[in-house]
């Protein structure tokens, strides 16, 4: 009984954190709009070396590498800066980003943001759909819609990433990394808190569903 009460309270705490984060970030949306978004044409030349892993125009061929095409500007910039500062640890990406200036990062993000992601064809995953749309209040898991949107397009004002079209295997790995603490650059521990309450089977189900979403 006490555990159920704790999980219910935790569920609403996470929902409140997400809501407050959205309000705060949306309030600062004009700041995002006022900033220069980078030069996509210049970014194209700066991404030639990236194509070996992330594919032409940001559509990776192997699911161990994420697709970058169509991803949110602010999210791309944040992750590149996190790799550069080693806030997010990956030996290859840490090395690749060391020489990038802030202007380079803006240009690269602008280029990938303007590309069209190749969408994944997936059979309907009803278990994943339920988690994505409604969450699981019993285990303190909120829905994914609040941050990533009903079509998985993300939220450009808040910097929440797009999920649709991304490899399901990569989405699963990302959630497992949050669950296991191998990734920790999520604001207010939101993703770590959510992923820690998902089983591996639930992670795979919601990743499979989100991957197949369409705009």
Angle (CA) 166-42-60 rounded to 5° is 20
Binding residues: 50, 53-54, 93, 144, 147-148, 191
Report which of residues 15 and 70 the model is more confident about.
70
CA distances from 76 to 3, 17, 136, 197 (A): 38, 22, 29, 26
Quote the pLDDT of residue 215.
54
Q: Is the pLDDT of residue 127 over 80?
A: yes
Element (H, E) at 131: helix 126-134
Q: Please, what's the b/e burial string for 83-104 (b: 16 or more CB within 10 A of its CB; e: otherwise)?
A: bbeeebeeeebbebbeebeeeb
Least Cα distance to 24 among 210, 194, 190 occurs for 190
Provide mean pLDDT across the span 40-56: 97
Question: What average pLDDT is seen over the chain?
Answer: 88
Higher pLDDT among residues 117 and 11, named by residue:
117
- Average pLDDT, stretch 126-148? 96
Does residue 66 contact residue 167 with C-beta atoms inside 8 Å? Answer: yes
Annotated binding site for heme c: 50, 53-54, 93, 144, 147-148, 191
Question: DSSP label at 123?
Answer: -
CATH number for the domain running over 2-30+119-211: 1.10.760.10
Q: How confident is the model at residue 214 (pLDDT cuts 50, 70, 90)?
A: confident
Q: Which part of the chain is CATH 1.10.760.10?
A: 2-30+119-211, 36-113
Q: Which residue has the higher pLDDT, 105 or 7?
A: 105
Q: Answer yes or no: are the C-beta atoms of 132 and 212 closer than 8 Å.
A: no
Correct CATH for 36-113 of 3.90.550.10, 1.10.3720.10, 1.10.760.10, 3.20.20.210: 1.10.760.10
> For 34, which DSSP code?
H
Dihedral sign, CA of 177, 182, 188, 193?
Answer: positive
Residue 46 to residue 87: CA distance in whole angstroms: 22
Whose tokens are 């990062």? That residue is: 105
Q: Please name every residue paired with 24 in a beta bridge, in sequence order, or none if there are none.
A: none
User: Model pTM?
Assistant: 0.83
CA-based R_g, the chain, Å: 17
């Amino acid at each position: 009984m006490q555990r159920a009460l704790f999980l219910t309270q935790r569920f609403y705490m996470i929902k409140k954190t997400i809501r407050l984060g959205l309000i705060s970030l949306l309030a600062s949306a004009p700041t995002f709009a006022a900033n220069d978004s980078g030069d996509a044409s210049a970014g194209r030349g700066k991404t030639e070396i990236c194509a070996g892993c992330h594919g032409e125009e940001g559509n990776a061929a192997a699911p161990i590498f994420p697709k970058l095409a169509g991803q949110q500007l602010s999210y791309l910039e944040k992750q590149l800066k996190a790799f550069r500062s080693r806030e997010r640890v990956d030996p290859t990406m840490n090395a690749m980003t060391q020489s990038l200036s802030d202007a380079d990062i803006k240009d690269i993000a602008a280029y990938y943001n303007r590309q069209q992601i190749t969408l994944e064809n997936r059979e309907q995953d009803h278990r994943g759909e339920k988690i994505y749309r409604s969450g699981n209040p019993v285990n303190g898991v909120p829905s994914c819609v609040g941050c990533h949107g009903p079509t998985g397009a993300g939220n450009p004002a808040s910097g929440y990433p797009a999920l649709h079209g991304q490899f399901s295997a990569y989405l699963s790995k990302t959630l497992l990394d949050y669950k296991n603490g191998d990734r920790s650059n999520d604001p207010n521990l939101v993703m770590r808190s959510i992923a820690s309450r998902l089983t591996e089977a639930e992670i795979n189900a919601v990743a499979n569903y989100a991957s197949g979403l369409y705009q």
